[in-house]
Structure formats: C-alpha cells, structure tokens
Structure 1
Amino acid sequence: MKHGFVKVAAATPDIRVADVEYNTERICEGISQAASEGAKIVVFPELCVTGYTCGDLFTQEVLLRSAKSALHRIAAFTADKDILVFVGVPLSVDGELYNVAAALNQGEVLGLTTKTFLPNYGEFYEMRQFTPGPKNAREILFEGKHIPFGPQILFQAAEMEELIVSAEICEDVWSPVPPSIRAAMEGAVLIVNCSASDETIGKDNYRRELIRGQSARLIAGYVYANAGEGESTTDLVFGGHNLITENGAVLQEAKRFQNDIIYSEIDIHRLFGERRKNTTFKISDERQLMRVPFSIKMEETVLTRHFPKQPFVPPNEQERERRCEEIFTIQAMGLKKRLAHTHAKSAVVGISGGLDSTLALLVTARAFDMLGRDKKDIFAVTMPCFGTTDRTYQNACRMARQVGAQLREVPIADAVSIHFRDIGHNPEDHSVTYENAQARERTQVLMDIANESGGLVIGTGDMSELALGWATYNGDHMSMYGVNGSVPKTLVRHLVKYAADVAEDEELKTVLYDVLDTPVSPELLPPKEGNIAQKTEDLVGPYELHDFYLYYMIRFGYEPGKIYRLALYTFEDSYDSATILKWLKTFCRRFFSQQFKRSCLPDGPKVGTVALSPRGDWRMPSDACVDSWMKDLENIGDLFDEIN
C-alpha cells in the first residue's frame, strides 16, 4: 500500500445454480488467486454463494441453511489470507430474507451489508423473495457474535486509516440516490458492488458509464463484480462484466461472456487530494431542499426531434455490427447453457428458407462451436408441404449443408392429408385449419426427431410474431428453447445480413443474401405459378410499423394516440395516415387477443430492453380488454392530420 496504492480485484467465479458446495469451492479458489496476485480487497457477485437466479428456491430452508454454512466456510478460508473479501449471499434474519454482501477478513465475518433497493420490474422480481434492508445499520446476533447488519457499513483499515470501504448491491447504484452517496459523505473512499446485472443490447455501455460516473461523482474508487456464465439462462444471460473505476476513469474492464478476475490499483492518496480541493464535495448539514412552483401554458408542441424508423436497429453501421455480434453471442450463450445443462445429444431446427429459421440455425451452429461439438449433431429438418416453393426449399437445403448440419427431409403433405381425412376437413378449404394443421404437424415431427435423437427443439419464432400472435398455437409457437423470442423482425433481418457480410464461405454468403431477398411468408397456401402466394406483411401489415408500435408501447407505455402521432411524423415519406392508423389498430387488437400465446412461451434469452416473456418482462392477463386502447384511436386520424 506504499504511496497510497491498494490493489483490488473483481472476480466472477464459475457457478452452478443452487449448488452451494460447488460455488463455495470456486469462490475459495478465487480468493486464493486474488491473494496470490497481491490483492488486498476482492469482490464477488451478488448472491454468488447460491447463484442469483434461484427464483423461488430462495424460500427453501435447505438452500438457506447451506448458504449460511458456506459463509462460515468461506470466512474461515480467509484466516491465513491478507485480504478483505466481499461475497453475495442470501441470509434470513428475524424471519425475513435479505440480499446481503458479507465482508470477511482473517477468518471472521466483519459485517453484513444489506441491499437497499430491490428491483421488481422487467426481468427482475426480487421483492417476491427478499425484503429491503433496514434504513440504518444495527447489530444482530449472528452465530453467537454481534455483527453489524444493514446499509452503508464502513470498513476501515487499521494500518491505513484513509482506506475506508463500503458496499452496495447491484440495483442500489442504479437508483436515484445510491447508498454509496451517503457512505462517501461519511468518509468511504472505496465503494464495492456485488452485482447480478444481465446482458441486454447496449446495457454494457450504460453499465460502464453508470459505474464510471458514480466514481466521478463520489471522487472514489469503485469495484464492480458482476454475475456471469453459470447463472440460469431460462430468460437471461449474464456476462461477467466486471469494472474497476477511479474518479471517472475506467482502470480495468473484464471481457464480457467470459468468467474471470480483473485487477487494478486504486490510488487512495490521490482521491483524498481530489476531495480536499473540491469545495463542493462536503455537504453542509444545515442545507435543506426547497420546492418552488411554476406554471406553463398548455398547448400543442411542434415536434422537431428525431424518432428512428427502426428503434431496435442502430442507425450507425459500426454500432449495428457490434450489436449484431452481441446478440448472436447472447443467443448462443443461452442455448449453450441449455444444451450443456440438459446433456442434449442433438439440436433440432426446422428450416424453411426464411429469415427466422435461418437465424435460429446460425445461432445453433455458433452454440455448438462454443461447446466444441460436431455440428453434425444439429438436425436441420426441412418439411415441404402444400405451400413450399422451390426457392425456399433449395435455400434451406443449401444452408444446412454449408453450416455443417445434418440435413433431414420429412415431407408432410401425406400426413396432413390423412389428418384432414380423419377430422373431416375439405382440403380445398384453405382456412386457418388448413394452415395450422401443417404448422402443428411440423412441430410434431421436430419434437419426435428430438426425442429420437436425445435432443432439443430450437424455436425459431421472433418477438414481432409473438406481439402479433402470428404463430400457430402448439405449432411453430412451441419449442424446447426459443433463441429468437426477444428479437424483433426488423432486427432479425440485420442479424442475417450481418452473418452474410462476415461469412467466409461464399456459398453460405450467397444463400443468406437470397434469404434476405425472399418475401416473408409462412408458406402455408399453395404457390401461384411457382411463387410465394402468401406474404405475411400483406396480411398483418409491415413489420417496420409493428416494431415501431411495439417499441413505444412496451418500452415507454405510450398510448395509441401518441404512437400514431409519432408514426405520422416518422413515416411521412413512407405511409399515408390511413395506412398507419389501419395497422396500428390491427396491432392493438392482435396484441391483446393473442396474449394467451405469450403466457406460455418456451424459455429463451432476453437480448434487448423490450421483451415479452411472462416470466420477466411482460405480465398481462390473457383476457384483458382492448376497448380503452381502441377508443383512444377513434377519430384521431383527422385530428393529427390537422396538427401535422
């Protein structure tokens, strides 16, 4: 610690969900590694003793008892180590369950910092199991000893009194008033964060700026340890994005999607020097907040700001490529975990030659590469029927071969015809029964091949289809793991284009470009003169409009009238007002009526800020009434035509 430098570490260990014994061993290995590298402080992720994604298993006594025992074992492990350790653990106190960061040093549990802000939105539902920590710290009797328990506990080094450390947990730093603010005002010069922040599109940038900015605001060091691979991928993927910052500078940053330990040195003396010369850092106790009223005239505001036509797709090519690579990695990481966890011998993907199944096949191939497995264990199954065209059939076959998958062809026309006979359906009646019978037969074929090969059926449906309910219930709607479930259609297209652009195989590149040029279609009606007769966007509307509606309705909760106005403004050079209003009404009706399909979605990784999983992001009754949303659109077209 000469010249005020203190070496710190942020560690993401390999874990298994609910396997406390395994996790304890990995944490102890991390402590040994950090200590051997000379680190004096090491921080581990939130709830890493059990795994953050245990869900309702946190209510099980066997898990909590094991976690408490593990905490003592980890503390004992530090007895001969010259290091201060922070580790995340669930802890029951006075009949309530708390999310805790335990401070361990020289074989003892020094203190238990509680999480103040429990996220209960989107993919998070911590208040289902945990209780927010108390407002102020107090002592509790813990295994016969009085231990500090609560927020903003300060840990001060006897040999270096300037070194005062305080912990907060994940969401605490995302809140408007993080606990670390008060801790810093009381003297903490180093903030540590035990975190479990999942990976979604662009979240790494926001996370980096948040931690960097907090260290700048507090004129402090900040050590952020995030959960990584090993957590459940039922709905989320964790990337182990660890950060060490000092007064607004990123000193070290972990490579995402790779569990590791990062190190750097915090200059305590420099931080104290910065604080001393910053006259606004010390806040007066006499200062009180005041509220001052003001008034404005309510009138219509003329829009001048930019609203992207494709809000899910970055307009910048470089950023778009980065995002595509990120999404591919999140999708493949989620599938990789599921394949490994289930010991699946194969992956089964139904391929049609369309965008969604193409993306699913590419993701599956990448997951197999990550696992180091032979892609011959991917069964790419084409199932031609009444609406299949030669173009899509040939593209599906060529793509499977170029990816290295095992191509299987299972014609289903005879099976569907027999089914029509059995239920008394006239095959000349091209109604929804005619279409859905094909989709369900295909799903049955895929499921049976998966059973036969000891594998998993990989879902291909995307988020835009889920929003509209444009999927056959228990047909293409169902799978064993849906890799595209949180990817909107407009983004699917860019992902496939990205894959084509970077493909080294010229044959694969050619096929992918042709898939991109093929009209979107379920191909459930007979072709006309060999061409696709059924074009999805002619039936349900342009996907770029629906994705626009979806983004603003789900991401910001905008009412239909406001979305309509933004669409008029944004798409004035593409669609007239009647078209925009028509498809917005279609979107609202279908979004409400088709919720029952989203209520029983297969597992799949979340990749962006908007997702429709009923387990995390979107909880909606399947019989909710759409009337209020439709009324908001009544006679609104003429009104906004006048405004704009």
Structure 2
Amino acid sequence: MGRKVTMATCCLNQWALDFEGNCERILRSIEEAKAHGAKYRLGPELEICGYGCADHFYESDTLLHSFQVLRNLLESPVTQDIICDVGMPIMHHNVRYNCRVLFLNRKILLIRPKMLMANHGNYREVRWFSPWNKLRQVEEYFLPRMIQEVTGQDTVPFGDCVLSTKDTCIGTEICAELWNPDSPHIQMGRDGVEIFTNSSASHHELRKADQRVNLIKSATTKSGGIYLYANQRGCDGDRVYYDGCAMVAINGDVVAQGAQFSLDDVESDFKPCHRVKVDFSLSSCDDVYLPTHQPIEWHFHTPEEEISLGPACWLWDYLRRSGQAGFLLPLSGGVDSSSTACIVHCMCVQLCRAVEGGNSRVLEDVRRVVGDESYHPQDPKQLCARVFTTCYMASENSSEDTRNRARDLANQIGSTHMNINIDVAVKGILGIFSAVTGRWPQFRASGGSARENLALQNVQARVRMVLAYLFAQLSLWARGRPGGLLVLGSANVDESLTGYFTKYDCSSADINPIGGISKTDLKRFLLHCAEQLQLTALRSILAAPPTAELEPLTDGRVSQTDEADMGMTYSELSVIGRLRKISKCGPFSMFCKLIHTWKDALSPSEVSQKVKRFFRMYSVNRHKMTTVTPSYHAESYSPDDNRFDLRPFLYNASWSWQFRCIDDQVTQMAANTAKR
C-alpha cells in the first residue's frame, strides 16, 4: 500500500549578504509549509547568504554569518517537527563547498556538498567552490561551537549521502547536477531512492522554462518517484533574474507549479547510497486516504510575455533595494528606448495588481519609494507618473516625428515627460575645441571628413549622457520631492554585438533592462504591448526606421538609419549573434553556415561581405563591452564582457587569415558554379 507524504518546495527572493532578510524569508517559507501539513521543506540554492555573493564567498564573514543564521533557524520554534533543507557555503578540511544542510528538531541530519558545478556563461562556481568528487563517500564534519551548543552534536555526516526516514528515502540534487548527463538522481533511483529534491539558483532566459520542465519530468519518467524543485526568485544583486518556477513532478507528470514571475518574496560505477537514518516519518499512520495525483498543463509564457515580466520584476527589485525614488530614461521615440519605457510601465502594472491582491510587502515598498506613507497605487499610469521620468533630448538633427512619438508614448504610459534641447551644450563644447585649435569640424553633408562626422555625432550622444545624470539627480529636487532617480540605458543586445553605439553616451546608465534582448524580440514585445496594454503610440514607433538622428536632416526628414550604418538588418544581426556565441563560430565557420542559411536571399560573395563587416565592427568596438551598463541577462548570446562573454577587447581587426579562408571558399564556389 502506498503512503501519503506532504512535502513543500518554495521560491524565495533572497538578496546577497542580506542575512537578516534572508533568514526572515526562510522562516516564513517554513511556517507556510507547516501550515499546509508538510513534513519536509526544500529551499533554493545558497539561500542563507544569497547565491550572488561572488567574491564575498572568499570572506570568512560570509561563512560566519551563514552559520549564525543556521543557528537562528535551528533554535526557532518554527523549524520544529519538520525536516528543513537549507543551502549555505561551508568550509570542510580547509576547502569551500556549496552545501545543503538538512536538520530536524535542533539536530543536523546531514550536509550534502554540491558535486557538479555550474561554470559557464554567467556562472563561476569553481572560482569560489570545489566540487565534492568522492562518489558515495561520507566523512565526519566537525560542527562550529556555536552550532554544537544548540544541537549537542560534535560531528555530522558530510558527503554524498541520502536521507532514510521510517517510511521513505530522500536524495538531494543541487541545481546544475540536474542538467548534467550523469545526474545523481539516475544512480539514486537505481538504489531505491523514492523522492528527489533539487535546490536551484537557475536564472531566467527567454524560452528556457521548457528545458527546465522537461528535465524535471524526465527525471521521474524512467524509474518513477517524486521530484521537488525549488528555485531562487528575483534579482539578488546582479544582472540575472531568477524566475522561480518551483514545481513537483510525480512519475513523469508535473502535478504542482509555482509562479514563474512574481513580486512575492516567498512562495513557498554503481555504488549504494550512504543512508542517514532518521527516526521520523513523513507520512501519518492514521491517514488511510491516499490521493491520486493529477497532472497539470504547464503554462509557458511567450517570449513577449517573458519580456514584460522578467525585466520588469528585475527593475522593481533593483529600485526597491537601491534606496532611489524612481527611474529616468532618455526617450528618443525609437524601438529601444520605447521598449525600456514599456518595461517600466509593465512593472507598474504588476505592482498595482500585487497591491490589489493584498500584497502588503509590495505596498510598503511602493510607499517607501515614492516617499508617501498614505499612497495607495491603483492605476499604473498614476504610479508611473510618481516613479518614472522620461525626457526627449532634441538637437537640430532631431525630427518632429520622433519628438511626437516620444511625447505620445509618455502620455499613454503616464510618465513625467520633459523636452530638453541640447544644442546650446553641444555648441559650447565645440566652441571650447575651436578656441583651442582654431578649427570647427563639419558634418559629412557639409564637406567634412568621416572623422569630423563621427566626432560631431559622438559629442551629441555624450552630452545626452551628462544631462541624463544631471536631471536624474536634481529633477525631483526641482519639483520639491526628495530622492534621486536611476538612469536607465536602452542599448539592445544586437547593438552591443557590433558596438553600434557611442561609448559613454546615453546608453551608459545605471542599469539596462534590454541589454540582453534582440531587436527582433523587442519589436514583438512592443506589438504585444500595443495589443494587450492599448498603447497605440507604439504602432507608429514600430513603423519608423531605426535611427540615431545624429546627422543633419534632409528637408526636415531623417536621412540616417541604423541598418544602413551597420550594413545589415537587425534580423541578420540576431542570426549572426547566435552563431557567434551559441554555435561558437569564428569568421570562416560562420560564413560556411550562412551560405546555406541565406542561400535563397544572398550570394556567397554577399554573405562574405556581411560576415567580414560584422567581425570588423565586433573587433574594433569590443572595448566598449568592458564598460557596458549592467544589463538584464535574457539571451545566451549576450556580449557582456563583465560577467558572461569573456573574450579579448584588443583584436587584429583585419582577421587576415580567417578572411582569406572565406575569400578562397568564395572563389572555389564561383569556379564550381562556372563549370556546371
């Protein structure tokens, strides 16, 4: 006969080094688990200190404070009569491990160190932790005195082991171990483990949720059993956003699903496994009712919905934890800055919904941000006016069309909008240059050289950055309100790939919610906003060609376009970006792939020119990535040099060997065609 077991998994919005807040959220999740009758509670990876501590893991303070929190958890009456599974860093034999600590009624049952590390892309776990590579081996861990005083234990089991209660057997995985071809659950299942748990810190990427769900379903499809998955939620201090998605799977079916995006801080060779016996039952002898599980249909968000949810939640975490009073965005009336504005509007929509749903924590944070203890947000537009300032920075090269598009969008989302003319500042800077050199540079349209033309564009862009920070610091002061604003950047991932932006222009900001999102996805997102949020101003923005508006107008109309400047379309750039990062293509292998992908639209010679142009632009501008604004991580082809894409920033931009291989291949293909 089967047994009914009640177990709880959760998503927590932890914050790196916020030990007090992290402890409070852990206790709240345990309290909620017990309220639902659970006998086991699983939490996310490194939840005590926060996953994003980075080089703070080297500090002894991080280890000390983690044990202090563990002591508080052990002593709390909330943690009694339930097995608690929490994550923290631990030093064992002078080696630092990423661990799970399982305890029950003031006794530590076992410590399970992570065996397979995440060390690619955004992750650098082997920089701070060592993997436990002693398969099926357990050692004695000597507890710190502060823990011994509570538990009465000198040592506890430390290593690759599982938990054997009176009625079942529980095995633990930690995040990346699930994604490994030789996941621990495979061998544990063969050894009779019935319940598998995974404490994770898995970040959000567009279209990633289905991979996660399929892996968890497959973990119990072959040999049966139960799989509990807990994940971090929110921005814990870095570029990534952890999107939750806690779930429970039984025999290959997902039977419970947590929210993927939410503003809530808590949602609650073959060798046998070493078993730690526990005099405790997860099931009740008196309960003969055995429920049957019913699979649920997982709701996958579209990429457009993910953009409206993930970056918006990330922005809110950053704002409420930064101590600032809102955001400021230079709004140009183009796709990129309009996408950033819409993400802030989506944030306000989520905040109003959360408050309407009774989320007192969100209400408290909103009131603190706006500086009004009586404020009750109900309308997203009204909230947007309190926390979001937009400004159109016009020059003599700006068109009325872009000014009107920026104004119309600001009116529809409700932001406090300003028109700022930068011509006086630009002419002042050029006047300084002229006074020193006796020369006044000219645009190409007026007979100037390419170098003059570029310098005149860049000075406009950089003046906008200076003004953005000035207004961010003082615009609320000018209105008689306290606080400052965070400056938002709006350079998309495709522009970053080619370096098609001015270094230290208004793309230089405090944070950038779209820095990891392609232009193609941003356009789809704006169409989604136009339809779902009735932001009709977006339709004219989508119809307009992307332009920097840094060169003189022709008959009052824009003559400069982004795609003409780059020599390729944004759609082509997205394909190139995925080949460069995800498929790991250099110039020649990229050319070989694209002559097949684009064979119906472009000749081999034309493909060759686009590939060469991309790599020249990429290598010449790579230095810009070393100073790029911290961006929300949304795509695995992100060029972010600071965390994700570790490549040189000084290249031989001629790529002579690689480009010669491409030329030889084009010549050979032309010769083969001529012979036919």
Normalised-by-shorter TM-score class? 0.7 to 0.9
Deviates more, 1:628-637 or 1:338-347: 628-637
Query: Match for residue 251 of structure 1?
Result: 255
Q: Are 1:240 and 2:232 matched, yes or no? A: no
TM-score normalised by structure 2 residue count = 0.82
| Cα shift at 1:157 | 1.2
Matched, 1:402 2:407: no
Per the alignment, residue 58 of structure 1 pairs with 57
Hey, what's the Cα distance between the residues in 1 that align with 2:578 and 2:235?
30
Structure-2 residue corresponding to 1:225: 230
Provide, for residues 276-324 of structure 1, a one-character-per-residue CA deviation record: whole Å limited to 9, x for no partner: xxxxxxxxxxxxxxxxxxxxxxxxxxxxxxxxxxxxxxxxxx98x8111
2:141 is aligned to 140
- Cα distance in 2 between the residues matched to 1:637 and 1:524: 37
Task: Give the SS at the match of 2:233.
Answer: coil
1:95-106 → structure 2 map (5 Å cutoff):
95-106=94-105
- 8 Å contact 2:399–2:556 — kept in the other structure? yes
CA distance in 1, matches of 2:84, 2:131: 23
Q: Distance in 2 between matches of 1:99 and 1:350?
A: 42
TM-score, normalization by structure 1: 0.86
Q: Does the Cα contact within 8 Å between 1:198 and 1:238 map onto a contact in 2?
A: yes
Alignment partner, residue 190 of structure 1: 195
Moved more, 81-90 or 45-54: 81-90
* Cα distance in structure 2, aligned partners of 1:179 and 1:51: 24
**Distance in 2 (alpha carbons) for counterparts of 1:435 and 1:79:** 62
- Secondary structure of the residue that 1:112 maps to in structure 2? strand
- Residues 89 and 102 in structure 1, CA contact (< 8 A), matched pair in contact too: yes
Cα drift, residue 57 of structure 1: 1.1
Contact 1:540 1:583 (C-alpha < 8 Å) held by counterparts: no
CA shift for structure 1 position 254: 0.5
* Residue aligning to 1:375: 384
What is the one-letter code of the residue matched to 1:434?
A: L
2:394 is paired with a residue of what secondary structure? coil
Range with greater deviation from structure 2 (617-626 or 91-100):
617-626
Post-superposition offset of 1:428: 2.8
Taking the aligned partners of 1:499 and 1:427, their CA distance within structure 2 comes to 42
Instruction: State the secondary structure of the residue aligned to 1:383.
Output: strand
The verdict on how the C-alpha distance between 1:53 and 1:212 changes in structure 2, with shifts beyond 3 A counting, is same
CA contact (8 A) 2:73 2:79 kept: no
Q: In the alignment, does 2:19 pair up with 1:20?
A: yes
1:97 and 1:129 in contact (8 A); partners too: yes
Give, in whole Å, the separation in 2 of the partners of 1:629 and 1:448: 46
In structure 1, stretches of 5+ residues that fail to align are 268-317
Shift of 1:513: 1.1
8 Å Cα contact 1:79/1:106 also seen in 2: no
- 1:8 Cα offset (Å): 0.9
Q: Decide whether the 8 Å contact of 2:392 with 2:419 is kept in 1.
A: yes
1:476 Cα deviation from its structure 2 partner? 3.0
2:488 counterpart of 1:458: yes
Q: Find the aligned partners of 1:229 and 1:419 in 2 and give their Cα distance.
A: 42
Mapped partners of 1:362, 1:92: distance in 2? 45
Counterpart of 2:528 in structure 1 is 498
Give the distance between the partners of 1:84 and 1:594, measured in 2 at CA: 53
Shift of the alpha carbon at 1:230?
5.3
Quick one: structure 1 residues 328 and 639, their matched pair in 2 at CA, closer, same or farther if it must change by over 3 Å? farther
Question: Secondary structure, in 3 states, of the residue corresponding to 1:415?
Answer: helix
C-alpha separation between the residues in 2 aligned to 1:183 and 1:72?
30
Cα displacement (A) at 1:641: 5.4
Tell me if structure 2 keeps the 8 A contact 1:349–1:379: yes
- Over 3 Å counting, the alpha-carbon distance change for 1:629 and 1:108 in structure 2 is farther
Q: Which runs of 5+ in 2 are unaligned?
A: 145-152, 269-281, 285-298, 353-365, 367-382, 445-452, 477-483
2:507 matched to which residue of 1?
A: 477
Query: Which among 497, 500, 525 is matched to residue 551 of structure 2?
Result: 525
The whole-number CA distance in structure 2 between the counterparts of 1:51 and 1:526 is: 51
- Aligned: 1:419 with 2:419: no
Deviates further, 25-34 or 126-135: 25-34
RMSD: 2.3
Aligned mates of 2:659, 2:74 — CA distance in 1: 60
Q: Partner residue of 1:362?
A: 342
- Shift of the alpha carbon at 1:37? 1.4
Q: C-alpha distance in 2, partners of 1:80/1:625?
A: 60
What secondary structure sits across from 2:6 in the alignment? strand
**Residue 10 of structure 2 is aligned to residue 11 of structure 1:** yes
Query: Is contact 1:351-1:396 (8 Å) kept?
Result: yes
Hey, what's the Cα distance between the residues in 2 that align with 1:582 and 1:501?
Answer: 38
1:487 matched to 2:517: yes
Partner of 1:313: none
Percent of aligned pairs with the same amino acid: 22
Distance, in Å, in 2 between the alignment partners of 1:111 and 1:534 is: 65
Q: Does 1:554 align with 2:553?
A: no
How many angstroms does 1:538 deviate by? 1.4
> What is the letter of the counterpart of residue 35 of structure 2?
S
Matched, 1:325 2:351: no
Q: Is the 1:8–1:266 contact (alpha carbons within 8 Å) kept by the matching residues of 2?
A: no
Q: Which amino acid aligns with 2:36?
A: E
Task: Tell me if the contact between 2:516 and 2:635 (Cα under 8 Å) persists in the aligned partners.
Answer: yes
Aligned to 1:590: 617
Determine the C-alpha separation between the residues in 1 that align with 2:75 and 2:670. 72
Q: Which whole-Å deviations, capped at 9, do the CAs of 1:376-424 have from their partners, x for residues lacking one?
A: 1321111111321111111111111111111111111122112111112
Moved more, 353-362 or 374-383: 374-383
**Deviation, structure 1 residue 632:** 3.8
Q: Which moved more, 1:136-145 or 1:373-382?
A: 136-145
Residues 235 and 241, structure 2, Cα contact 8 Å, conserved in 1: no
- Provide closer, same or farther for how the CA distance between residues 62 and 631 of structure 1 changes in structure 2, counting only shifts above 3 A: same
SS at match of 1:410: strand
Shift, 1:492, TM fit? 1.8
Match of 1:213 among 212, 218, 222: 218
